[in-house]
Amino acid sequence: MRPVEERPAASPYGRLDTATHEYVISRPDTPTPWLNYLGQGGYGGIISNTAGGFSFDRDPRERRVTRYRYNAIPADQPGRYVYVRDQETGRFWSPSWQPVKRDVEGYECRHGPGYTRIRSALDGIESELLYFVPPGNADGSCPCELWVFRIRNAGPTARRLRAFSYAEFGYFDAVSDQQNLDWSQHIVSSGREDSVILASTRFRPTTSFLGASEPPVGWTGDREDFVGRCRDLASPIVVETGEPTNSGSPRGNEIGSLCHDFELGPGEERGLVYVLGLTDHPEEIAAVVARYREQAEVERAFEELRADWSAYLGRFAVATPDPEMTEMLSVWNQVQCRTTLNWSRFVSGYETGLGRGMGTRDSAQDTLGTMHSLPEQARRTLTRTWGLQFRDGHAWHQLFPLSGEGGPGLAAEFPTWPQWFSDDHLWLVLATCAYLRETGDLAYLEERVPWADGDDETVWGHMRRAIEFTLANRGPHGLPRAWFADWDDTLNINHGSGKAESVWCAMQFCRTVLDLAELCRHTGRFAEAVRFRDLHTEMAGLVNAVAWDGSWYARAFDDDGMPIGVAGEDRHRINLNPQTWSVIGEVAPRDRAEQALRSADQHLATPFGTALLWPPYDGGDERVRGTSTYPPGAKENGGIFCHANTWLIIAAAMLGRGDDAYVHYRRILPLARTDADLFRAEPYVCSQNICGPAHPQFGMARNAWLTGTAAWAFVAATQWILGIRPTFDGLRVAPVIPTSWPGFEARREFRGVTHEIRARREGPAGAVSLVVDGRPVQGTVVPLPPPGTTTVRVEVVVS
Amino acid sequence: MRPVEERPAASPYGRLDTATHEYVISRPDTPTPWLNYLGQGGYGGIISNTAGGFSFDRDPRERRVTRYRYNAIPADQPGRYVYVRDQETGRFWSPSWQPVKRDVEGYECRHGPGYTRIRSALDGIESELLYFVPPGNADGSCPCELWVFRIRNAGPTARRLRAFSYAEFGYFDAVSDQQNLDWSQHIVSSGREDSVILASTRFRPTTSFLGASEPPVGWTGDREDFVGRCRDLASPIVVETGEPTNSGSPRGNEIGSLCHDFELGPGEERGLVYVLGLTDHPEEIAAVVARYREQAEVERAFEELRADWSAYLGRFAVATPDPEMTEMLSVWNQVQCRTTLNWSRFVSGYETGLGRGMGTRDSAQDTLGTMHSLPEQARRTLTRTWGLQFRDGHAWHQLFPLSGEGGPGLAAEFPTWPQWFSDDHLWLVLATCAYLRETGDLAYLEERVPWADGDDETVWGHMRRAIEFTLANRGPHGLPRAWFADWDDTLNINHGSGKAESVWCAMQFCRTVLDLAELCRHTGRFAEAVRFRDLHTEMAGLVNAVAWDGSWYARAFDDDGMPIGVAGEDRHRINLNPQTWSVIGEVAPRDRAEQALRSADQHLATPFGTALLWPPYDGGDERVRGTSTYPPGAKENGGIFCHANTWLIIAAAMLGRGDDAYVHYRRILPLARTDADLFRAEPYVCSQNICGPAHPQFGMARNAWLTGTAAWAFVAATQWILGIRPTFDGLRVAPVIPTSWPGFEARREFRGVTHEIRARREGPAGAVSLVVDGRPVQGTVVPLPPPGTTTVRVEVVVS
């Protein structure tokens, strides 16, 4: 393993502002576009620190508003741009730096929850753009976003300035927009009505629009007219000349470029609000734009947004001795959790919004990070996702949110391979149990949800059917069969013999039946509770009998029935997941559990997290297929999969190893990575993976924002390190904190009651005792308080 | 109809060099990228006048070599670039203008058949790039292209120069490359072996490469390294600093940038050859690159290319009083015909090579333009396409060339609509008859070809089955049923009632059975000849009984059985196709035929060609669906469809109206369009469509190169205006030339015999008499000469 250079104390690109919880980016040239999300699952989009990105209404494939050119040169274009032009000198620039890239002064981008604010100055002119989606639009009605532009003359003389907006509309169907140029370039046209530019076809009402709070002095609706032949967005002809064309686009490429003049005396400041949106009711557009002519309405909308996020974030807050961990758990990890719940893996800097819908297991796991804050949305998500389960118990892998249609996901590209995964349906059970523990909403078990192949069943029936599917489809060792893959999409070991089995999935099954047994005991289904415990004993016994390799657990059995992830192999001798889940699934006896985690540490640990497997494949390997398409150290082929690292944190905590759990957490804590030129990704959110030690870019993160890491990192830290986890009987507080910590404080909503938790360490061991509202309680569960209670105080002593 | 401004006498962007037959572009900033094609259906690609474009090996979807960003900003990037840097001053530029776009001197792009040569000069340094695919690669073995770079110091002092190549490799699977960024960006890496940069994955042998004939002084294999963060191809950091990184790319984006130094004394010139390619046998790459180290080998390859094209073009040449027509028919129209035969509608400036395969009817029609020059390739194309026919007689609409798999084409997007077209199978019959007339290869009728759904049948059996399918699927008026559409893909009138019928397809059927009757007479199948004649009589009678609207023929009957394209309608009162095909299909009595063409002229004619229908739809119309998605005047919705205009030329000629035929030909003759800023498209090839009079961009052409217009414009001009058309009994020469023409000369290969044709006008009427090798013959057919004859001289008098 290569040595890791000392990390710098501070990132050269930005810092967290602990007063506002904004991430403040101080240079435009970040190693990758550092993104934020606007909107809440309805109208929304991505925005980078230089205003790059695009917008869509609910579904980025079917209802795209603006274009974004992924992996293009120049990078991170187009976006939500305003050009400012000095009418005296003809000099022009972009307050967001892109796309003109002039050397502005005082550049600063502040990403906050649901909004982004970018400001800079040039030649004595200060300007700022604040971007957000008014929260009233979350339901999809009147969908739009606001660009609040402010411009100020900081100099001593009067100035004449002209501003040009730039929003590049695409055809709503993003695949046609990219592939069927002959058609899509002919059918959309643009025009102007009052202070609004509209783009639409003649055969659907769907209309994109960009309006402004002040009447423009001119406009341009055609991209080629605006940019000019053989030019680019750094120097569009309209901006260079200062002359809008005052004409729309009959076909080709439509844009929204409104032109406004600002005559500013010394110290004078002016504002302008742009309204960008998409609607099937074009008759409503004028009213939508008119609404935001009122400054007060814009401020009200922004306050509403802030209040919405405050309410969301207010249900969990923490203060720990680790400031980065404190900030992540209190703000950005929760922001990311909500984002994954809203948009699954659909749109990011890496996911283009074209191919993938919402993931079945993705959405199920995404609810885990928001159970405490958005239980109703979690319930709706689970219900929708249960609707993807077939009567035999397996589930579609994916859901297209607008149509509600399910699909096999990646497996569709390999139609002769199995079209479902080993684990999708079990995640749904686990997430539903988590929902029930959080809310106590046992009536949910009786809700009827359709099967994907007709008829319906209660949620409880769906849950049982999931277990039956796994039981009915086992391989020669009695372990769950490998289908297209299990959690690891790239471990494609089922080639038709019926012998391929997933050891990891057996462990996932063990955790699932334990959760069900607990649920059954709580709901009085005692016989079923016994059966689920027995299933656990049986499956755990099988795993221990066939999958223990001496120092760790094997990962799987291949299509010939031979073990994968064992010491005798050249490649992939050890895999992280069966070690962590031998603990999480309560499969391993104590000695094996400790040995398994020691082995993982010995073979897989790195300063940037723990690799998924070792040694990586070096070239295609037919046994595992997908994994071996990656070069050594990338993604599933020996990369550091952050999602899998969160389970290592949990496993260590479950074994009472607080120091280990914390070390594992810190290694993948993005705010702790100040070596931004190596890490590259946004430091305020988790990435899906980090290149592993076998990769030349060891330490580089990829696939930020939309990853199961978000929810699981939150669960690992809050429920297992801090130990604050819901049970049917009350909130458990059982910290497994590092020995160096003197304690922590947390505020946690649970079933409508604010739990004010103060933990302090009084000794080096891990024993925990609780005092609730001044009275000692037995065990580590805070009893459910009497109805009407709003707050309980929990004093925790770790000794 | 709006007035048309006077067209300029010469295009400001370029001209045809009649000595070399090259189209010479003299300004880089053409209204659109003016493209050429490299390669012959195997390895190849597109290249613009500023070297933009991309390459692929046989299939642009599965085996792409380099990237191209369609509809992006900056436009027409990337491409096959070389940067030149003055090592003394640090100034750098691109000989092809793009991507640096510095003001070079003497810029000139010469597109020739199968090659493109771009030259320019700056600061006394002249450079030239010649691009071509060695023709030995047409079969897919050793697939590569050459960039022959020459650089000359035209100044008085010695100069130190450094050149950097730029080829941007993508992942071979172009859809994954665009949509699955997370995977495709992780799996490809690049490295260097000797003077070659290689890009490949670890799990397949498929390897892209860029090599050079001289050892480089440095190299860069990573796009981000080369371009630099937040920069673009106009000023890559490596070129700006002059320092290659000498490193590959571990993942991300791979490029081939080789760096070479040139120390040039006054007047000194040097050369360098770059070799770009893709192979599944990477062990062969070194030998391929080594081959082109020899200047002689490069020259031999280029001469071979020229010879191949000369042979191809040599089978037909003409001299007419119309220089643009002469050049088109002798060179560029034939170049375009071969290009469509090779690549159907797969890759162009408008078709991204992602979604479409080869078209069944497209390929069938494409053979019509190359029957005389590439009869064997035409036969292979027909055989492959007959393999797409089902046993019931209908055919797949599309073919994916690498897999041979058929598909329903656009219909796949509408799975509940009919999945086949009314006309695909009939085009195959028509093209096969044309092949037999050209070659006399009657044994082809006995060749066995599989059905798409199993088993096989002779070509003759396939042809008959096509007729049976149409006969078995007729609507209430006895006309062929409309399926997904007929020739007009967007006329989607079949909504399930079974009543929708295509009048045009009935006329196409009439032409088809006439051709079959003639074939049967020639092959002694007399009873069948009678049956086909009877079928013609019956179908023509039905059309005349139900589809004559008083002054023209209706276009179709809709799903309620109501006529479309009739005078009583608000929109789409008249459609061009049934008027022309009433003549081509020999459906209309003389008076109706003349009236139909007069009506078309009256309602549809414009100075830029004849519109497809009038008045256009203005917004979605459920009766016709697709057509009405276009705005008025665009494409099928009242645009000028050039393909349909070729049939108007033929129909006019069939009625003996030589002046009309020529007017129709001139209107759509691209070389006649010198108003390049309006026309926009390449003036040396036909475009598919021109915006019609209802469109704000009336006169603008779209979809150049890959269109059925190519073959049909050639057929219309050569077989109907010049009147040189193959028959079973010999080459017919029956000119229908304009009265103003004193005559023309032509050379035409037919069944191995060169026909030297000299036509002269001796009177204003259309009577034609022939003298063959000095002896008058009866009629207009040159009798098949005795075996061993190499040349016949045909004197034609039109009086």
Measured CA to CA, the distance from residue A124 to residue A121 in angstroms comes to 6
Average pLDDT, chain B: 96
**Residue among B322, B489, B558, B559 flagged as catalytic:** B489
> Rounded to 5 degrees, what angle do the CA atoms B190, B196, B198 make?
25
DSSP B436-477: HHHH--GGGGG-EEE-TTSSEEEHHHHHHHHHHHHHHSB-TT
Q: Which of residues 279-338 of A touch B (CB under 8 A)?
A: none
Under an 8 A CB cutoff, do A631 and B189 touch? yes
Under an 8 A CB cutoff, do A620 and B350 touch? no
Question: Which ranges constitute the DSSP H helices of B668-726?
Answer: 676-679, 709-715
Measured CA to CA, the distance from residue B190 to residue B222 in angstroms comes to 7
Question: Which ranges constitute the DSSP H helices of B387-454?
Answer: 424-439
**A240: region left, alpha or beta (phi > 0 left; psi from -120 to 50 alpha):** alpha
| C-alpha separations of B466 from B31, B462, B520 in Å | 44, 6, 16
Here the tokens at position A323 are 């400031």
How confident is the model over A719-737, as pLDDT tens digits?
999 999 999 999 999 999 9
- For the sheet containing A556-557, what is the strand order? A501-502, A556-557, A563-564
| Contact indicator for A696, B250 with CB cutoff of 8 Å | yes
Beta bridge partners of A352: A347
pLDDT at A439 over 60: yes
How confident is the model over B549-564, as pLDDT tens digits?
999 999 999 999 999 9
| Contact indicator for A112, A20 with CB cutoff of 8 Å | yes
| CB-CB neighbours of B191 under 10 Å | 16
Instruction: List the single best residue of A81, A173, A175, A230 to mutate versus B (max B Cβ within 10 A).
Output: A230
Q: Which residues in chain A have Cβ-Cβ distances shorter than 8 Å to B692?
A: none
Q: Which residues in chain A have Cβ-Cβ distances shorter than 8 Å to B72?
A: 69, 72
Antiparallel, parallel or unpaired: β B605-606 and B609-610 = antiparallel
CA distance A705 to chain B (A): 13
pLDDT at A3 over 80: no
Under an 8 A CB cutoff, do B628 and A77 touch? no
The verdict on B227 touching A (C-beta cutoff 8 Å) is yes
pLDDT at A137 over 70: no
Measured CA to CA, the distance from residue B476 to residue A694 in angstroms comes to 71
Under an 8 A CB cutoff, do A181 and B350 touch? yes
How confident is the model over B641-694, as pLDDT tens digits?
999 999 999 999 999 999 999 999 999 999 999 999 999 999 999 999 999 999
> The whole model's pTM is what?
0.96
**Residue among A123, A392, A489, A621 flagged as catalytic:** A489
**B90: region left, alpha or beta (phi > 0 left; psi from -120 to 50 alpha):** left
| C-alpha separations of B356 from A402, A560, B90, B348 in Å | 27, 40, 45, 12
pLDDT score at A78: 98
The verdict on A618 touching B (C-beta cutoff 8 Å) is yes
Q: What share of chain A is helix, strand, coil (3-state, %, to 5)?
A: 30, 30, 40
Which amino acid makes up residue A447? Answer: E
Q: What is the mean pLDDT of residues A261-275?
A: 98
Residue of chain A minimizing CA distance to B621: A203
Is omega for the bond preceding A415 within 30 degrees of 0, making it cis?
A: no
pLDDT at A7 over 80: no
Percentage, residues of chain A above pLDDT 90: 93
| C-alpha separations of B237 from A386, A799, B217, B220, B225 in Å | 52, 59, 17, 11, 8
How confident is the model over A493-526, as pLDDT tens digits?
999 999 999 999 999 999 999 999 999 999 999 9
* Exposure string over A568-581, b if 16+ CB within 10 A, otherwise e: ebebbbbbbbbbbb
Q: Which sign, positive or negative, has the C-alpha torsion A437, A442, A444, A445? A: positive
- Residue keyed to tokens 């004649």: B533
Q: Which of residues 240-269 of B touch A (CB under 8 A)?
A: 250-251, 253
pLDDT at B130 over 90: yes
HEC per residue, B582-611: HHHCCCCCHHHHHHHHHHHHHHHEECCEEC
Residue of chain A minimizing CA distance to B28: A230
Q: Which residues in chain A have Cβ-Cβ distances shorter than 8 Å to B230?
A: 28-29, 74-75, 101
Under an 8 A CB cutoff, do A75 and B230 touch? yes
Q: What is the mean pLDDT of residues A121-149?
A: 88
> In 3-state terms, what secondary structure has residue B310?
helix
Q: Residue B137: pLDDT band by 50, 70, 90 thresholds?
A: low
Beta bridge partners of A218: A259
Active-site residue B515, yes or no? no
| Contact indicator for A192, A289 with CB cutoff of 8 Å | no
Question: Which ranges constitute the DSSP H helices of B457-562?
Answer: 459-472, 503-523, 526-546
Under an 8 A CB cutoff, do B229 and A179 touch? no
How confident is the model over B539-550, as pLDDT tens digits?
999 999 999 999
| Contact indicator for A533, A525 with CB cutoff of 8 Å | no
Under an 8 A CB cutoff, do A182 and B703 touch? yes
Here the tokens at position A290 are 């008119």
- Burial class of residue B555 (count of CB atoms within 10 Å of its CB; 0-12, 13-18, 19+): buried
HEC per residue, A533-571: HHHHHHHHHHHHHHCECCCCECCEECCCCCEECCCCCCC
Least reliable range by pLDDT among B7-21, B183-197, B423-437, B724-738? B7-21
Q: Which residues in chain A have Cβ-Cβ distances shorter than 8 Å to B200?
A: none
How confident is the model over A167-208, as pLDDT tens digits?
999 999 999 999 899 899 999 999 999 999 999 999 999 999
| C-alpha separations of B507 from A260, A604, A739, B486, B503 in Å | 59, 73, 89, 12, 7
DSSP state of A201: -
| C-alpha separations of B76 from A7, A77, B424, B470, B727 in Å | 42, 16, 34, 44, 45
The verdict on B635 touching A (C-beta cutoff 8 Å) is yes
| CB-CB neighbours of B317 under 10 Å | 16
pLDDT score at B6: 63
| Contact indicator for A338, A374 with CB cutoff of 8 Å | yes
pLDDT score at B2: 42
| Contact indicator for A163, A262 with CB cutoff of 8 Å | yes
From start to end of A194-268, where are the E strands? Answer: 196-200, 207-212, 218-222, 254-264
Percentage, residues of chain B above pLDDT 90: 93
pLDDT score at B3: 44
Q: What is the mean pLDDT of residues B224-247?
A: 97
Least reliable range by pLDDT among A170-179, A265-274, A371-380? A170-179
- Residue keyed to tokens 């036909």: B686
Residue of chain A minimizing CA distance to B170: A71
Is omega for the bond preceding B74 within 30 degrees of 0, making it cis?
A: yes
How confident is the model over B387-444, as pLDDT tens digits?
999 999 999 999 888 888 899 988 888 889 999 999 999 999 999 999 999 999 999 9
| C-alpha separations of B642 from A304, A456, A737, B720 in Å | 57, 56, 76, 17
How confident is the model over A219-264, as pLDDT tens digits?
999 999 999 999 999 999 999 999 999 999 999 999 999 999 999 9
| Contact indicator for B386, B462 with CB cutoff of 8 Å | yes
How confident is the model over B694-732, as pLDDT tens digits?
999 999 999 999 999 999 999 999 999 999 999 999 999
pLDDT at B355 over 80: no
Measured CA to CA, the distance from residue A606 to residue A667 in angstroms comes to 8
pLDDT at A1 over 90: no
Q: Residue B354: pLDDT band by 50, 70, 90 thresholds?
A: confident
pLDDT score at A2: 41
How confident is the model over B444-477, as pLDDT tens digits?
999 999 999 999 999 999 999 999 999 999 999 9
pLDDT score at A47: 98
Here the tokens at position B502 are 């295509």
